[in-house]
Amino acid sequence: MSPTAAARQIDPPANGLPSHAGIYHYDQVDRDFLKQRVEQFRRQVARRLAGELTEDEFKPLRLMNGLYLQLHAYMLRVAVPYGVLTSRQVRQFGRIARQYDKGFGHFTTRQNLQFNWIKLVDVPAILDLLAEVDLHAIQTSGNCIRNVTSDQFAGVASDEVVDPRHYAEVLRQWSTLHPEFSFLPRKFKIAITGSSADRAAICIHDVGLIAKRDADGNVGFEVYVGGGLGRTPFIAKKLRDWLPEDQLIAYLEAVLRVYNAYGRRDNIYKARIKILVHELGIDAFRNEVEAEFARMPVAEYRLEPTIIDGIRARFASQPYEALEPISGVLARARLEDQAFNRWVRTNVAAHRQPGYAIATITLKPAGGIPGDVSADQMDAIADLADHYSFGEIRVTHEQNLVLAHVRQDDLPALWKALSAIGFGEANSGLITDIIACPGLDYCALANARSIPLAQRISERFADLDRQHHIGELKIKISGCINACGHHHVGHIGILGVDKKGVEAYQLTLGGSAAEVGAIGDIMGPALSADETVDAIESVVGVYLEQRQDGERFLDTLARIGHTPFKDKVYASH
Partner 1 sequence: MPLIDSGKLVDDAWVRLGDDDALPAADVPVIVSLARFHKDRASLAGRNGGLGVWLASNQHPKDIADHLADFALVALDFPKFRDGRGFTIARELREHLGYRGVIRATGHTLPDQYLFLVRCGVTQVEIPEGRDPALWAHALTEIDTAYQVSVAGPLSMARLARHKTTEHAA
Q: Which residues contact ligand SF4 by CB under 6 A?
A: 437-439, 443, 445-446, 478-480, 482-485
Among 164, 438, 496, 517, binds ligand HEM (CB under 6 A): 438
Q: Is 143 one of the binding residues for partner 1 (CB under 8 A)?
A: yes
What are the residues facing 207 on neighbouring strands? 190, 225
The interface partner of residue 183, options being partner 1, ligand SF4, ligand HEM, none and the CB cut-off 5 to 8 Å by kind, is: partner 1
Q: Nearer Cβ to ligand HEM, position 371 or 424?
A: 371
Q: Is 445 one of the binding residues for ligand HEM (CB under 6 A)?
A: yes
Among 109, 152, 450, 467, binds ligand HEM (CB under 6 A): 109
Sheet strand arrangement including 475-478: 435-436, 475-478, 492-499, 502-509, 521-522
Q: Is 111 one of the binding residues for ligand HEM (CB under 6 A)?
A: no
Residues 160-189 that bind partner 1 (CB under 8 A): 170, 173-185
Neighbours of 348 (CB within 10 A): 20
- Cα 207 → chain centroid: 15
Q: Nearer Cβ to ligand HEM, position 80 or 539?
A: 80
CA angle 493, 495, 499 (to 5 degrees): 145
What is the Cα–Cα distance from 140 to 187, expressed in whole angstroms? 10
From the list 207, 213, 211, the residue with the least C-alpha distance to 191 is 207
Please, what is the minimum distance in Å from the beta carbon of residue 445 to ligand SF4? 4
The CA-atom distances, in angstroms, between 64 and each of 57, 141, 255, 522 are 12, 6, 21, 35
Please, what is the minimum distance in Å from the beta carbon of residue 527 to ligand SF4? 18
Angle between helices 553-560 and 529-546 (to 10 degrees): 80
Please, what is the minimum distance in Å from the beta carbon of residue 233 to ligand SF4? 12
Q: Is 418 one of the binding residues for partner 1 (CB under 8 A)?
A: no
At residue 169, the 3 state secondary structure works out as helix
Q: Nearer Cβ to ligand HEM, position 171 or 311?
A: 171
The interface partner of residue 479, options being ligand SF4, ligand HEM, partner 1, none and the CB cut-off 5 to 8 Å by kind, is: ligand SF4
What is the Cα–Cα distance from 436 to 429, expressed in whole angstroms? 14
Q: Is 310 one of the binding residues for partner 1 (CB under 8 A)?
A: yes
Please, what is the minimum distance in Å from the beta carbon of residue 250 to partner 1? 9
What is the Cα–Cα distance from 553 to 534, expressed in whole angstroms? 17
- Map 38-71 to HEC letters: HHHHHHHHHHHHCCCCCHHHHHHHHHCCCEEECC
Among 17, 18, 23, 44, binds partner 1 (CB under 8 A): 44
Please, what is the minimum distance in Å from the beta carbon of residue 40 to partner 1? 5
Residues that bind ligand HEM (CB under 6 A): 68, 70, 75, 108-110, 114, 186, 189, 228-230, 272, 437-438, 442-443, 445, 482-484
